[in-house]
Amino acid sequence: MTVHTGRHFLQIPGPTNVPDRVLRAMDMPTLDHRGPEFAELGFNVLAGSQRIFKTKQPVIIYPASGTGAWEAAIVNTLSPGDRVLMAETGQFAALWRNMAEKFKLDIELVPGDWRHGADLVQIEARLQADKAHAIKAVMVVHNETSTGCVTYPQEVRQAMDRASHPALLMVDTVSGIGSLEYEHDAWGIDVTVAGSQKGLMLPPGLGFNVISDKALAASKANSAFRSYWDWQEVINANKLGSWPYTPATNVLYGLKEAIAMLEEEGLDNVFARHKRHAAAARAATKAWGLETVCQDAHNHSPALTAVMMPEGHDADAFRKIVLENFDMSLGTGLAKWKGKIFRIGHIGHFNDLMLMGTLAGVEMGLDLAKVPHRAGGVLAAMEVLKGRDIVQMPKAAVA
């Protein structure tokens, strides 16, 4: 057995590194979720989540993974036979689509090659053509974790508005929230789907739905079966700071702390930090002479960088070498990208030197795995990071 010292580098694009502050906040005795103390925590995390999702609408927090939150979005608003428009952007879009198929939705698919965001021109064209308004929902993934390509929800909303189409807009921001700009209300999102284990810096265990008035009205009119996921039951209980079933109490303690951390840093600074790290990771990739999976400069993810492996080299064999030699986990290629790409997570609780360690591990791993590349990726990333704006220093310290 190999003995590793120091901290493991968890550089997959989620679950992400949980800050010590959050771990300590969760290290609490379990409390009575129907007792008086719990309501205070309940109200606190519900209000805090509204600030993170930028909404005045209800935020539903389930003890569930992101997949549960996908299902909740579907079963509350849609019935078997309802037509939905989905965009093929990668494996997570594919999994949501598989689920929609299981619920017997009638899926109209906008194809994609897993190297771009959703095809907005096609989305608009399909909506324009749907004069009878048969399409009940447009469903997209904000940050496609399997490819590192972003689809901007506000651009999808604009396409829908140009087509004057009344469908609901549903957005999976499981790996976007807390890392990429997100505005549920201002962008006209009807159902937001999210999870705790990525930009929110928590362990897995919480699934989120944020809903609009229109989505809530659709759920009230929807007679399809649902029970655990029913929004209304959660909303009713949340009015008393409670849940209709046992909530993930200790993860909620963590959520309270994670929201405090995000707000101390300032959400805009959090987003800028992710963009800077992504720019540095892309500079390294380019210097190595490797290609990012995402081919559109406008759509590069701030949360992760997915890298194409040169032909004839197995990305998973490379990842194994990195894990064994440097105790660093990189993200595997999923589904059609299995063995062909690796993913560098730079999401959540992260800083410049963590990124430098990560990129150094990748560069050394490329050498050890004999993957053809040029040296100098780490140096190229350093140049980007050194460009840090000095005016961020307190005035006194600069003088």
Do 302 and 275 meet the contact criterion of CB atoms below 8 Å apart?
Answer: yes
* Pick 48 or 331: Cβ nearer ligand PLP: 331
Min separation Cβ 67 and ligand PLP, Å: 3
Do 305 and 13 meet the contact criterion of CB atoms below 8 Å apart?
Answer: no
Using CA atoms, how far residue 385 sits from 294, 347, 373, 379, 390, in Å, is: 22, 16, 22, 10, 11
Q: Segment near ligand PLP (CB under 6 A), from 64-72, 147-155, 288-296, 371-379? A: 64-72
Q: Which residues contact 395 (CB under 8 A, 6 or more apart)?
A: none
* Pick 65 or 232: Cβ nearer ligand PLP: 65
* Pick 175 or 305: Cβ nearer ligand PLP: 175
* Residue ranges in 166-185 that form contacts with ligand PLP under rule CB under 6 A: 172, 174-175
Per-residue binding string, ligand PLP, 101-140, x by CB under 6 A, is ----------------------------------------
Element (H, E) at 150: strand 149-150
Tokens standing for 255?
């959520």
Using CA atoms, how far residue 173 sits from 339, 355, 369, in Å, is: 26, 23, 34
* Pick 154 or 232: Cβ nearer ligand PLP: 154
Tokens standing for 149?
């390509």
* Pick 274 or 373: Cβ nearer ligand PLP: 274
Interface with ligand PLP (CB under 6 A), residue from 11, 49, 76, 145: 145
Min separation Cβ 130 and ligand PLP, Å: 26
Place of tokens 């780490």: 378
* Pick 179 or 249: Cβ nearer ligand PLP: 179
Interface with ligand PLP (CB under 6 A), residue from 48, 58, 66, 333: 66
Tell me which amino acid residue 247 is.
P
List b or e across 358-375, with b for residues whose CB sees 16 or more CB atoms inside 10 angstroms: bbbbbbbbbeebebebee
> Does 92 sit near ligand PLP (CB under 6 A)?
yes
* Pick 73 or 321: Cβ nearer ligand PLP: 73
Element (H, E) at 210: strand 206-211
Per-residue binding string, ligand PLP, 27-46, x by CB under 6 A, is --------------------
Residue of closest CB approach to ligand PLP: 66
> Does 199 sit near ligand PLP (CB under 6 A)?
no
Pairing of strands 191-195, 206-211: antiparallel
Interface with ligand PLP (CB under 6 A), residue from 44, 50, 67, 329: 67
Tokens standing for 366?
């490329």
Q: What residues are paired with 304 via a beta bridge?
A: 345
> Does 148 sit near ligand PLP (CB under 6 A)?
no
Do 260 and 59 meet the contact criterion of CB atoms below 8 Å apart?
Answer: no
User: Residues interacting with ligand PLP, by CB under 6 A?
Assistant: 14, 65-67, 92, 141, 145, 172, 174-175, 195, 204
